[in-house]
């Protein structure tokens, strides 16, 4: 049994491409339809109500494009609006990035102390904390918002003295709590992986939610017999939509993925809000 339809992936911007990268690595025969809602980016500082409205609109846009599964590659939406999106998706599987990241942390922490970093909205929502403690009520979770990390990534300043100081500013107090796992609860943060790992030291495992979300997507599609039967599909057959500035997104995306994106199209606002 196989299913040749694409996987739908959305994020408020570029960061969700780190999830696409992992999906392609695990399942080279799959294609994706990606939506980056650049025009309303970033979601991280918005109210929960607004984030839920945007998230449902993004999901509907992908569902109209005949996807077989939804991956909410945005920690903010995964944190505050996954349930209404799953309800809207009805019997189509829809996963976020929070549960997979939480499961990986619970499986790995020996000290039962986990750190989580993300945007203000992700931390405020407490979704990682709730997810981890539902899996193991013994685990203590230390969450910290790191809002300067995203602009540092977007400015290409990942390997600078400023990035190292900002990382120390945010992370030293987390290290002092005695955590042995740190979950990257924002899809931009994997691009700062080296700086973050160097700051917290080798004793702390840094876990990238994007990697674990891609693994969960793979398992679900395998379980329901909905993997593609193509030997290779990948980026060349995939579609990328953004709500603003397709050319600039294409450039940044190529840098992030290490290869050219086939075509980046503009998604009309009217359709998104429809």
The least CB distance from residue 103 to its own copies, in Å, is: 31
Task: Decide if 186 is catalytic.
Answer: yes
Residue 124 binds its own copies, judged by CB under 8 A: no
Q: Report d(CA 269, CA 172) in Å as an integer.
A: 42
Q: Which of residues 87, 107, 108, 155 is near its own copies by CB under 8 A?
A: 155
Q: Contact between 162 and its own copies (CB under 8 A)?
A: yes
Which of 150, 186, 214, 235 is flagged as catalytic? 186
Binding-residue pattern over the window 135 to 154 for its own copies, x denoting contact by CB under 8 A = ------------xx--xx-x
Lookup result for tokens 């600039």: 248
Read off the tokens for 14. Answer: 């570029």
Catalytic residue among 20, 74, 181, 183: 74
Q: Which is nearer to its own copies, 74 or 95 (CB)?
A: 74
Residue 135 or 157 having the CB closest to its own copies: 157
Instruction: Pick the closer one to its own copies by CB: 156 or 262.
Output: 156
Which CB atom, from 7 or from 150, has the smaller least distance to its own copies? 150
Name, in order, each residue with C-beta under 8 angstroms of 74's C-beta and a sequence gap of 6 or more.
Answer: 10, 11, 12, 15, 16, 43, 55, 97, 187
* Minimal distance, residue 69 CB to its own copies, in Å: 29
Q: Could you identify the residue written with the tokens 């939509």?
A: 241
188 lines the binding site for its own copies (CB under 8 A): no
Q: Burial code of 136-154, b = ≥16 C-beta within 10 A, e = fewer?
A: eeebbbbbbbbbbbbebbb
Interface of this chain with its own copies, residues 12 to 71, rule: CB under 8 A: 38-41, 45-47, 50
Please tell me what DSSP assigns to residue 202.
T
User: Is residue 146 flagged as an active site residue?
Assistant: no
Comparing CA positions, the residue from 193, 116, 204, 211 lying closest to residue 153 is 193
CB 186 within 8 A of CB 195: no
**Apex 151 CA angle, 10 and 146, nearest 5:** 85
CA 130/CA 137 separation, integer angstroms: 9
Q: Note the residues at the interface with its own copies (CB under 8 A).
A: 38-41, 45-47, 50, 147-148, 151-152, 154-155, 157, 160-162, 165-166, 169, 244-245
Q: Which residues are catalytic?
A: 74, 186
């Amino acid at each position: 049994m196989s299913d040749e339809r694409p996987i739908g992936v959305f994020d408020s911007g570029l960061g969700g491409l780190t999830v696409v990268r992992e999906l392609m690595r695990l399942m080279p025969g799959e294609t994706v339809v990606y939506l980056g809602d650049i025009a309303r980016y970033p979601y991280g500082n918005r109210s929960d109500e607004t984030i839920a409205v945007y998230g449902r609109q993004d999901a509907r846009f992908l569902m109209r494009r005949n996807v077989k599964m939804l991956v909410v590659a945005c920690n903010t939406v995964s944190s505050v609006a996954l349930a209404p999106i799953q309800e809207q998706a009805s019997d189509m599987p829809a996963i976020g990035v929070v549960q997979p990241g939480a499961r990986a942390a619970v499986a790995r922490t020996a000290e039962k102390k986990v750190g989580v970093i993300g945007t203000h909205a992700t931390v405020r929502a407490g979704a990682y904390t709730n997810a981890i403690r539902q899996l193991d009520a013994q685990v203590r979770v230390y969450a910290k918002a790191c809002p300067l990390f995203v602009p540092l990534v977007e400015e290409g300043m990942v390997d600078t003295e400023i990035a190292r100081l900002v990382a120390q500013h945010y992370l030293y107090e987390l290290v002092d709590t005695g955590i042995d796992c740190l979950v990257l609860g924002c899809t931009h943060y994997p691009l700062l992986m080296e700086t973050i790992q160097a700051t917290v030291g080798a004793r702390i495992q840094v876990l990238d939610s994007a990697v674990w979300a891609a693994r969960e997507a793979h398992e679900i599609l395998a379980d329901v017999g909905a993997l593609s039967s193509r030997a290779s599909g990948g980026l060349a057959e995939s579609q990328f939509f953004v709500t603003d500035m397709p050319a600039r997104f294409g450039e940044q995306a190529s840098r992030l993925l290490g290869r050219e994106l086939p075509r980046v199209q503009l998604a009309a606002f009217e359709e998104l809000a429809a």
